[in-house]
Structure 1
Amino acid sequence: MIDVHRLRIFRSVVANGSISAAADLLGMTGSAVSQHMAALQKQTGLALLERVGRGVEPTAAGRTLAAESEPLMSEVKRLESVITDLREGNTGSLSIGYFASVGSLWLPRIARRLQSEMPDLVLEMILTEGYPTGESPPVDIDVVPDDPRETLRPGYSITPLTSDPFVALLPQDHRLARRRSVPMIELAEESWISSDISAGVTESLIARACAAAGFRPRYTVEAQDHYTAAAFVAAGVGIAVIPDLAGRTRLPTGVRRVRLTRPVPTRDIVALTAPVARANPAAARAVELLREIATKPAPRG
Structure 2
Amino acid sequence: MLDTQRLRVFRSVVASGTVAAAADNLGYTPSAVSQHITALARETGLNLFERVGRGLRPTAAGLALADQADAVLARLGEAEAVVADLRAGRTGTVSLGYFASAGSAWLPHVVTRLTGEFPDVRLDLSLLEYLPDDPAHRPDLQVAVARPGWTPRPGFTAHHLLDDPYVAVVPRTHRLAGVAEVELAELAGEQWVDNDAAQGACRAVLLEACTAAGFAPSFHVEAADYPTAIAFVDAGIGLTVLPVLGTRALPAGLCTVRVVRPTPVRSIMAVLRDAAAHTPPVRAALETLRGVAATCA
* Short-chain TM bin: 0.7 to 0.9
Residue 270 in 1 paired to residue 261 in 2? Answer: no
Q: Deviations over 1:242-288 (max 9, x none)?
A: 011101x2101221112111111111223344688668653443233
| Residue 220 of structure 1: aligned partner | 220
- Which residue number in structure 2 is paired with residue 18 of structure 1? 19
Inter-partner Cα distance in structure 1 for 2:54 and 2:279: 47
User: Would the alpha carbon gap of residues 77 and 33 (structure 1) be closer, same or farther in structure 2, given more than 3 Å must change?
Assistant: same
**1:95-142: CA deviation from partner (whole Å, max 9, x where unpaired):** 4332221121111111111111122334343333499987xx875543
Alpha-carbon distance in 2 for matches of 1:62, 1:41: 10
Which stretch has the larger CA shift, 82-91 or 56-65?
Answer: 82-91
Q: Give 1:170-181 correspondences, 5 Å limit.
A: 170-181=170-181
Q: Is the 8 A contact 1:99 1:127 kept in 2?
A: yes
Identical amino acids, percent of aligned pairs: 42
Offset at 1:209? 0.4
Within-5 A mapping of 1:191-206: 191-206=191-206
Q: How many residues align?
A: 291
Q: Gaps (5+ residues) in structure 2?
A: none
Check 1:170–1:53 CA distance in 2 against 1; reply closer, same or farther (3 A cut). closer
Q: Matches of residues 68-83 of structure 1 in structure 2 within 5 Å? A: 69-83=69-83
Change (3 A) 1:286 1:77: farther
**Match for residue 252 of structure 1?**
251
Q: Shift in Å at residue 185 of structure 1?
A: 1.6
* Length-normalised TM-score, structure 1: 0.77
Q: Structure 1 residues 140 and 21, CA, compared in 2 at 3 Å: closer, same or farther?
A: farther
**Does the residue aligned with 2:142 lie in a helix, a strand or coil?**
strand
Q: 1:74 to 1:24 in 2, by over 3 A?
A: closer
For residue 193 of structure 1, report the CA deviation from its aligned partner: 0.9
CA contact (8 A) 1:163 1:268 kept: yes
Summarize the alignment of residues 115-134 of structure 1 with structure 2, pairs less than 5 Å apart: 115-129=115-129
How many Å separate the matches in 1 of 2:9 and 2:280?
34
Q: Which amino acid aligns with 2:117?
A: E
TM-score, with structure 2 as normaliser: 0.78
- The 5 A counterparts of 1:277-288 are 281-288=280-287
Q: Which moved more, 1:196-205 or 1:155-164?
A: 155-164
Q: Decide whether the 8 Å contact of 1:184 with 1:260 is kept in 2.
A: yes
CA RMSD of aligned residues (A): 4.0
Does the residue aligned with 1:224 lie in a helix, a strand or coil? coil
Q: Deviations over 1:198-235 (max 9, x none)?
A: 44212221111011111221221112221222222233
Aligned runs of 1:47-126 on 2, under 5 Å?
Answer: 47-50=47-50, 56-67=56-67, 69-86=69-86, 89-126=89-126
Q: CA deviation at 1:196?
A: 0.7
> For the Cα contact (< 8 Å) 2:41–2:47, is it kept in 1?
no
Is the Cα–Cα contact under 8 Å of residues 192 and 238 in structure 1 kept in the other structure? yes
